[in-house]
A and B are shown apart, each in its own frame.
Chain A
Amino acid sequence: MSFPLLRVENLSVSFTTYGRTVPVLHGVSLDVPARSQVALVGESGSGKTVTMKAIMGLLRQPPARITSGAIYYDGADLLTMPEKERLKLRGTAMSMVFQDPMSSLNPVFTIADQMATILKYADRRLGRTRSSRDRMQRVYDTLAQVRMRDPERVARAYPIELSGGMRQRVLIAMALLSETDLLIADEPGTALDVTTQAQILKLLKDLVEARGLALLMITHNLGVVRETCNSVYVMQKGVIVEKGETAAIFEAPAHDYTRSLIDAVPRLTGGRRFGTAGVPA
């Protein structure tokens, strides 16, 4: 295989608070080839979001410190390139959908304002011009693409006036507008009902195939991983404990932690009793 679009190599990160230093990533390596969907799964608190923030250059240093490693985008090391170049790559080459949608939406601007701004930047970068009416149309169309039933109402709404899943879809719509080659999505489907989720995953898959998008997806939903991703990385306590092709990992997980994760998935067939008291239900 040729050099992947994104390669994280031996990345270690620690946090220092109140004079105490806690390492959270220990030599993480992962590859995301163009035209692929890669999943990063793992324990809550294991370092998935920190990994993504490091890739996007969004870790505040301090308190964070990257103690080793390299992050290659298209062969160039993001960690050693001049800050100016790096800033240019972010948002033009890669975009991110955050785990917590409220934190990436501005509460005092309407959805339309925020999306139109992103589109303006994308157009400028790609050397396109369009009228403001045309721009609004594109905003509505993109909202419809992420399955908003009434795109015009949503466009005029403020973030607080949308449901959790609608906010999440707005973030996905924004990422689509920026037309980057790499999309990193932190739990993109958790706030969505399964029908809407299926449609959004299909949309992303189409982009991967049609436009050669590379998608790195963090998720706790192993069903989603099994049904959409080519390969999987499993993280525990800041270490990648297992990686491989999706089908192989589900068929024969090599690591105990992976196996325990698969065993813990509640099944649609039912029959699972929660509770430790052992009271027969």
Chain B
Amino acid sequence: MLELKNLCKAFPIRNAFGRKTGALQAVDNVSMTIAPGDIYGLAGESGSGKSTIARMIMGLETPDSGEILIDGRSIHDRSDGVAHGRRVQMVFQNPGSSLNPRRTVGQSVAVPLDAHGFPRSKRPARVATLLDMVQLPAAFAERYPHELSGGQKQRVAIARALAVEPKLLVLDEPTSALDVSVQAKVMDLLTDLGRQMGLTYLFISHDLSLMRNFAREVSVLYRGGIVESGTSDTVFGHPSHDYTRLLIASVPVISAEEAALRPVIPLIDGELPTPEQLIALRQAADRQA
């Protein structure tokens, strides 16, 4: 379904006078393959390049090198006449700024419908169905974004992305502003839709407990590169890279069973080390061996 081949993307670094002095390798040679109907989780450090990868898949950012293929075709190849937005939709990380403040919720949700020639007469009913799917009352269609709570905006963004039933849905922190019970309902919905319509998901999240239960395949990103990939059970059950182990060891949990599952990490001054400290420890140990 989706194939990323050796993707690279750098951003310029400026000095105090705004002049370019170097480059930050935000995405460093990332490859991955997502099978149709799969739920693929992407976890990793803040600033490790997850959203940049997502924006490249959406065609909002151009890779410096590497390829992005959907069903074997480059995303820039539009020769079959199917708009990119019909195949791929995204729920952005920041619901507050991804909704147009001057559009009502109903108008926002209808934008992709209009763009893809959905009959005007059926629009209100479709909008109501979509809002219902994300547990919002139909009356919310008349509201403006500033009248919504954080989680309500996030649900509008999910409804909008589902509107045209894309093949691939990129979810960048889709439920970070939702309480766990609404979150569970949204995840149920996404799972059901995935099964019914054969949707494929790329799921970016810092909520590893959620990822453990939702995604089937997982990749872990650290400083722009993938350090570990595998099935969710393998990555969470037997993490092999130090960074992944540290990540799982840091998950805040609510039960002793979960706490017991977290990998044991050598403590520094009684605290979990930072990723840099842990990796330095390992390198020192390797040198000794």
Q: Do the two chains bind?
A: yes
> A-side interface residues toward B, CB under 8 Å?
15, 17, 41-45, 48-49, 99-103, 147, 149, 153, 156, 161-166, 169, 186-187, 190-199, 202, 220-224, 226-227, 250, 260-262, 264-277, 279
What is the bound-complex CA distance between A223 and B46, given in angstroms?
Answer: 19
| In contact, A43 and B182 (Cβ under 8 angstroms) | yes
Extra contacts besides A103-B97, A190-B177, A277-B195 (11): CB < 8 Å: A15-B147, A45-B151, A102-B94, A187-B176, A187-B177, A198-B252, A220-B151, A220-B183, A223-B252, A267-B213, A270-B232
A-B contact pairs, 8 of them (CB 8 A): A44-B178, A45-B148, A195-B272, A202-B271, A227-B252, A268-B253, A271-B213, A274-B213
* A164-B173 CB under 8 A given contacts A197-B250, A266-B210, A267-B213: yes
Cα separation A103 to B48 with both chains bound (whole Å): 23
Residue of A nearest to B46 (CB): A165
Contact of A199 with B213 in the complex, beta carbons under 8 Å = no
B229 contacts the other chain (CB 8 A): no
Select one of B11, B13, B247 contacting A194, CB under 8 A: B247
Question: Given known contacts A99-B150, A100-B94, A191-B206, is B179 in contact with A42 (CB within 8 Å)?
Answer: yes
Asked if A194 contacts B252 (CB within 8 A), the reply is yes
The residue in chain A whose Cβ has the minimal distance to the Cβ of B44 is: A193
Is B178 a contact partner of A268 (Cβ separation < 8 A)? no
Assess whether A190 is in contact with B173, with CB atoms less than 8 Å apart: yes
Q: How far is the CA of A25 from the CA of B47 in the complex (A)?
A: 37
Q: Bound state CA distance, A191 and B175, in angstroms?
A: 11
Instruction: Please give, as numbers and ranges, the residues of chain B lying within 8 Å of A166 by CB-CB distance.
Output: 46-47
Bound state CA distance, A116 and B211, in angstroms? 38
Inter-chain CA distance A101–B253, complex, in Å, is 26
B246 with A195: CB separation less than 8 A: yes
B213:A270 contact, CB within 8 angstroms: yes
| B33 beta carbon closer than 8 Å to chain A | no
A32 to B214: give the CA distance in the assembly, Å.
Answer: 36
Q: In chain B, residues 71-100, which have Cβ atoms closer than 8 Å to a Cβ of chain A?
A: 93-97
